Amino acid sequence: MRALAKLLLWWMPAAVKLRACREVSSDFAAALSRRLRAGGPGVDAYRAAARETGVRAGNRLKSELGLGSSFDDAELAWQIVMKASGMKYTVERRPGTSLFRHLCCPLLAAGGAALCEDFCLPMVEGLTEAICPSCRVEIAERPSDERPCVKALIQSGNSNAG
């Protein structure tokens, strides 16, 4: 294994770099969430920062990938973020709703259900707000420490469908 480690010093595939960033980021977020929950009101600031992270990610996706403000654009943004995060998921589409069932979630693996509640949900709400302000996020099934959540992207109001 040491030879593999030395090889990575010379050449590191992008997928390995991305995985390392994802794991370190998830580990940090989980540790911070646990400490804030143990110590009081700081968890609200943490959730606000997660929401802001989602808004910033949504704005970057709009400017860099040319996403619009439709329900379809929000669904695409969710899929891009989940793919980049290493999540495995299925999507069940109904009129005005896309139900995302997470099959594998690195955030859950790193920090349990608390990390989902404190980081993932506010981040996805911010992402959705930035892409499609007339859409909303609902939790169809809350996460547990054993299984990921199921989230719904819901088209409401005057969202353009396309």
Q: Which CATH number characterizes residue 31's domain?
A: 3.30.1380.20
Q: Residue 27's domain spans which residues?
A: 14-155
Rounded mean pLDDT of 12-19?
Answer: 74
Among the listed residues 99, 86, 94, the one whose alpha carbon sits nearest the alpha carbon of residue 137: 99
Residue 145 has pLDDT above 90, yes or no: no
Q: What are φ and ψ of residue 86, in 5° steps?
A: 85, 15
Q: In this model, does residue 160 exceed pLDDT 50?
A: no
- Residue 159: is its pLDDT beyond 70? no
14-18, 31-35, 143-147, 151-155: which is most confident:
151-155
Cα angle, residue 58 at apex, residues 140 and 97 outer, rounded to 5°: 30
Element spanning 103, H or E:
strand 97-104
* Cβ proximity of 50 and 122 under 8 Å: yes
What pLDDT sits at residue 161? 43
Torsion sign (Cα): 12, 13, 18, 20: negative
Other beta carbons within 10 angstroms of residue 138's beta carbon come to 11
Total domains in the fold of the chain? 1
- pLDDT, position 115: 87
